[in-house]
Amino acid sequence: MGQQPDAADLVSVILPTFNRGRTLTRAINSVLHQGYANLELLVVDDASTDDTAEVMAKITDPRVRYVRLAKNGGASRARNEGLRIAKGDYIAFQDSDDEWLADKLQRQLSVAKAAGGPDDAISVFHTKVMYVSGETSQTRRNKIVCIPELDRNPDRDYLIAEVHKGNLISPQALLMSRGAVAAVGLFDQRLVNCVDWDYAIKLINKTNAIFLDEPLVMTYLLTDSISILGRRGVRSQLCIALDLQRNHNVDRKVLAGHFSRIGWWLSKLGNPRMGRRILRRSIGLAPGAWKTWARLGAAEGLVLRAILDPRARIRRPTARKTVGVATA
């Protein structure tokens, strides 16, 4: 039996979707069947071309609001639209191919309310169970992992240091107060990659971020969850790394690692000159990193190749999963 509604504790759940009609009902039902019942579910359709509208027409729960965007603009734009129209004192996110466990909202909301009120900048995030399909795994085997792996009861300094290394908060594992939304703002629609990492950095730095060491959502990494790590994606990661360097007290070796990976990917993606500059920035931060020196040597070779034979085409890497920061 769900908890009786309380107008002071309305939770707005934002669910962006694009061409996920086959998994959307499962994701919606996992929200509507929560033990905590006082919620509104905002399904923001990012101009789907499949049967999403027909799937939504079958959903009769009055707590559901279906918003269809006229033009596809990406998940960040859809989430931001949800944030603009949300009425709740607390905000949560769901993805259209994931599944919440039945007590997710109740567990997070109780932790958030113990830390303050909805006008306070509070965010609560938890671990998630990720199912990786064999079709997307390099080993071709299905596997299940729990992320993130953090110390129990981590303090603020620990969380800040960890989020500088990589993403800690997936949107579907996040609950935040309206005060946190006011402090952090909207998702950055300019980024095409690692938007959740960028948002997590802001949450950890600007809110009272609380980690709940419980897996309360099942996520599925399927074939169409793979994205291409193209130049725009790497440049998004570069923007985040540069922001970390400018605005946060980040360990030099951590920054150097980000720049080393980004510089090498830029080199492999056909821009070795820019990649070389980023690799040199990395070496300036951590001169003893032999791997970065090796990457710089390889990037120099690609530049020389382009000079000697302008017609030579640099081979692009194949598609790979992009979860958090790109790895080499």
Q: What is the DSSP string of 174-232?
A: EEEEHHHHHHH-S--TT-SS-HHHHHHHHHHHHSEEEEEEEEEEEEEE-GGG-B---HH
State the amino acid at position 50 in one-letter form.
D
Tens digit of pLDDT at every position of the chain (328 positions)? 344 435 468 999 999 999 999 999 999 999 999 999 999 999 999 999 999 999 999 999 999 999 999 999 999 999 999 999 999 999 999 999 899 999 999 999 999 999 999 999 999 999 999 877 655 444 456 678 889 999 888 999 999 999 999 999 999 999 999 999 999 999 999 998 899 999 999 999 999 999 999 999 998 775 544 444 567 789 899 999 999 999 999 999 999 999 999 999 999 988 999 999 999 999 999 999 999 999 999 999 988 887 887 665 544 444 443 333 333 3
Sign for the CA dihedral angle at 17, 19, 20, 21 comes to: positive
Q: Look up residue 76 and give its two tokens.
A: 């960040």
pTM for this predicted structure: 0.87
Residues pairing with 212 in the sheet: 126
Residue count (the chain):
328
